[in-house]
Amino acid sequence: MADTTITEDVYDDAYEEKPGPSPPLQIVWRNVLLMSLLHLGAFYGLTVLPSVSSLTLIWTGVCFMISALGITAGAHRLWSHRSYKASLPLRAFLAVANSMAFQNDIYEWARDHRVHHKFSETDADPHNARRGFFFAHIGWLLVRKHPEVIEKGRKLELADLKADGVALQVICGGDVLSHPHVCTLVLLGRESLDQLLSSLSAEIHCGEGFHNYHHTFPHDYATSEFGSRLNVTKAFIDLMCFFGLANDCRRVTRETIMARVKRTGDGSHKSG
């Protein structure tokens, strides 16, 4: 693994946005059409939900969980942050699961996510929350990327991804329908994250809701200081470790967490 990999997702506080007006938005009408059709299809699915069989409901839940793990345990915690190591069979499974989520290929997902961490809430952030709630949640998928996002993405070496044959396999490309990591829309170091909202987001998104912690310690495979509580993804990775399919899980010590709390915390910290 290249040495630069461990810093490609670390926040760059030296970055300064270029002065001058922002470039005009360029709407990608293909994406607008696809998003509209997909959400209309989802609403239609809700109308027929009461009439489907129990087996269909079970299969829906299974597919949801598999595709979610493809993002949370795969594209996010494994390929974006290298927070643990996975065997070839596990990587192949996660790649297929990732394709089911329809959130683009692994390489582009991981590249954009590293850019998001490195240049959070700036023009170089793909889903910059400073551009508004709608843009950060879904609007960024409907327009061309800001030139700064493209420029910074090209400067990342991504040597680990280029060396991973599984990560380079584009099984099923697609646009991100829902990015659990942006659903909290919290500015790291500037706002306190309400515990109720954090827990709710974590539960819905398999442990991806602890936004402030994750941006502070992006290499922690749990993405949370609360262990496996409300964290299906961590439990899944632990299970894979038990079966010998994963190893070398990176974790932040409690001493490191408390040292950071004392240094930059706002006094509202509650630890599990």
pLDDT per position as a tens digit, 249-262: 999 998 998 898 88
183 contacts: CB under 8 Å, gap ≥ 6: 137, 201, 204, 205, 209
* Domain ranges, residue 28: 13-264
Residue 172 lies in a domain: yes
CA distance 270 to 28: 43
Phi, psi at 8, each rounded to 5°? -70, -15
Is the backbone of residue 132 left (phi > 0), alpha (psi -120 to 50) or beta? left
Asked, for residue 270, whether it belongs to a domain, the answer is no
Average pLDDT, the chain: 83
Q: What percent of the chain has pLDDT over 70?
A: 81
Q: Is residue 23 part of a domain?
A: yes
4 within a domain of the structure (yes/no): no
As a whole number, mean pLDDT of residues 220-239 equals 87
In a domain, 269, yes or no: no
Report whether 95 contacts 66 (CB < 8 A). no
* Structure tokens given for 64: 């949801």
Q: Which residues contact 236 (CB under 8 A, 6 or more apart)?
A: 69, 73
pLDDT at residue number 270: 64
Task: Write down the pLDDT at residue 170.
Answer: 53
pLDDT tens sequence across 5-53: 668 999 998 999 988 888 999 999 999 999 999 899 989 988 988 898 9
* Res. 171: pLDDT tops 50: no
In a domain, 56, yes or no: yes
Highest mean pLDDT among 14-18, 61-65, 147-151: 147-151
Residue 150 has, within 13 A of its CA and on its CB side, a CA count of 4
pLDDT for position 263:
86
- Point out the least confidently predicted range of 68-82, 108-122, 200-214: 200-214
pLDDT at 208: 75
pLDDT tens digits for 134-148? Answer: 999 899 999 999 999
User: Is 8 a member of any domain?
Assistant: no
Q: What is the pLDDT of residue 139?
A: 94
| In-domain check, residue 7 | no
Number of C-beta neighbours around residue 66 at 10 A: 16
pLDDT at 219: 94
**In this structure, what token pair is assigned to residue 20?**
């001058």
Q: What domain count does the chain have?
A: 1
